[in-house]
Amino acid sequence: MADGTGLLSLRRYTWWTLTGAVVSVLVIFAGGWVVRGDAPAWSRLLGGAALAVSTVAGVALLRRRLAGGARAHATPRGWLAAAAAGSAVAGALQLGSGEYGRWAVAPAITVAVAATFRPARGQRWLLGGATAAAAVPGTVVALLAGDGGPLYAALFPAGLVLFTGWTTLGPLWAWDVAGRLHEARRLAAELAVKDERLRFAADLHDIQGHHLQVIALKSELAARLAEADPARAAGEMREVRRLASDALQETRALVQGYRRTTLEEEISNATRVLAAADIDARMDLATAPAELSATGRHLLGLVMREATTNVLRHSRAARADVRLLVDGGRAHLRVRNDGAAPAAGGAPGTGLAALAERLVAAGGELTWRRDGERFEVAATLPVGAP
């Protein structure tokens, strides 16, 4: 999964959850003061404009944060300044009209969004300082007004900052963890490929290095004996030819063993890979493939590998069904998945087309079809395929 089907879904869920919560809280709790009739019209108009600026800036900041991660981009200072200015104006107007609790909604959200761009230690310092600072304005205004509510004016804004920070940073923390796990999985896959290449290179070096070294020594000896002892030189060259033939055969055997695949291995690998991609893989292996020839296992294994690759690359599948049975002297393999992406130009992939030619040459058949969001690959092959 390039982006990862589950990771993409988590990103969408996180985006809509956070932006929906931010907009709802600002509109319902902070915006309720704007439509209240006892505040001056100019104050409500200015406060509404400030809340609108704070809301738009907060949504833009969250979008940037989810798009690039905590440290992928520098903090967008322009949006942050707009959010801070809007929330400060809206909060000051509401506090001046006696809203000792509701005035802190917009500033608390701005602080929480700003904290998402900070490292863990910076988040704690920012939230801690904002919590302590949030208790001061309401307390001062309440004491000057003498309305008897300084305790509420001190505790509610402070608690609101902590609660907003917790509810905002929690989903983003989960998103960051999922992103790091996805990247770790990608790196693990790349390392596995590199390890396999190194293993193959080491095996090839062991075969070729030994034979080439001996061939070089015997060729040098034969060159020295060409005039003094032609018969022995001819014998050494015959030995060189034998060594070259052995090296060629062993190299071919290594490549064949490296590239050879079996149906059992590919089904086992598909089970692990699909499960790692959060795809519910259902395996219906009613008949063991023991009756299949080695060629049949190899060809159906290639089909299984290609079908699994298509599920991962070209779909957002939640479920895949694999069925294998032997009936009437023929083996039938079917791989079906949901979440298929729309066809690009209507042309089948070159991998399936090439496999179809190989199965036809072995007396079998490979077909694939799309039905809405469902995609199915079906292969049939004689049990004793040559």
Q: What's the distance, CA 113 to chain centroid?
A: 24
Whether the per-residue pLDDT at 249 is higher than 90: the answer is no
Apex 253 CA angle, 249 and 255, nearest 5: 120
83, burial (CB in 10 Å: exposed 0-12, middle 13-18, buried 19+): buried
Who has greater pLDDT, 357 or 37? 357
Q: What are phi and psi of 321, to 5 degrees?
A: -115, 130
Who has greater pLDDT, 10 or 86? 86
Residue 32 — very low, low, confident or very high, per pLDDT cuts 50/70/90? confident
Work out the angle between the directed axes of helices 150-228 and 5-25 (0-180°, nearest 10): 160
pLDDT attached to residue 350: 59
Task: Return d(Cα 274, Cα 277) in angstroms, integer.
Answer: 5
Q: How many domains does the chain have?
A: 3
Domain that holds residue 217: 185-259
pLDDT attached to residue 335: 93
pLDDT attached to residue 288: 52
Task: Return d(Cα 247, Cα 255) in angstroms, integer.
Answer: 12
Mean pLDDT across the chain: 80
pLDDT attached to residue 5: 53
pLDDT for 105-163, tens place per residue? 889 888 988 888 888 788 888 888 888 888 888 888 888 877 767 888 888 888 888 88
Residues 6+ apart with CB under 8 A from 93: 39, 43, 46, 47, 50
230 and 151 share one domain = no
111 and 157 share one domain = yes
Q: What percent of the chain has pLDDT over 70?
A: 88
pLDDT attached to residue 4: 52
Whether the per-residue pLDDT at 338 is higher than 60: the answer is yes
pLDDT attached to residue 1: 39
pLDDT for 87-108, tens place per residue? 888 888 888 877 887 788 889 8
pLDDT attached to residue 287: 56
Whether the per-residue pLDDT at 345 is higher than 50: the answer is no
227 and 122 share one domain = no
Q: What percent of the chain has pLDDT over 90?
A: 5
Residue ending a domain, among 231, 259, 287, is: 259
23 and 171 share one domain = yes
pLDDT for 256-292, tens place per residue? 665 566 788 788 877 877 776 678 888 887 655 567 7
Residue ending a domain, among 259, 287, 302, is: 259
200 and 55 share one domain = no
320 and 374 share one domain = yes
Residue 37 — very low, low, confident or very high, per pLDDT cuts 50/70/90? low
Apex 44 CA angle, 40 and 48, nearest 5: 175
pLDDT attached to residue 72: 46
Which CATH number belongs to the domain containing residue 276 in this structure?
Answer: 3.30.565.10
Whether the per-residue pLDDT at 9 is higher than 80: the answer is no
209 and 313 share one domain = no
Which CATH number belongs to the domain containing residue 233 in this structure?
Answer: 1.20.5.1930
pLDDT for 187-238, tens place per residue? 877 787 787 777 777 777 767 776 777 788 778 888 888 888 888 888 888 8
Q: What separation in angstroms does the CA of 149 have from each of 91, 100, 133, 220, 339?
A: 18, 8, 18, 103, 57
222 and 135 share one domain = no
Whether the per-residue pLDDT at 86 is higher than 80: the answer is yes
> Which pTM was predicted?
0.49
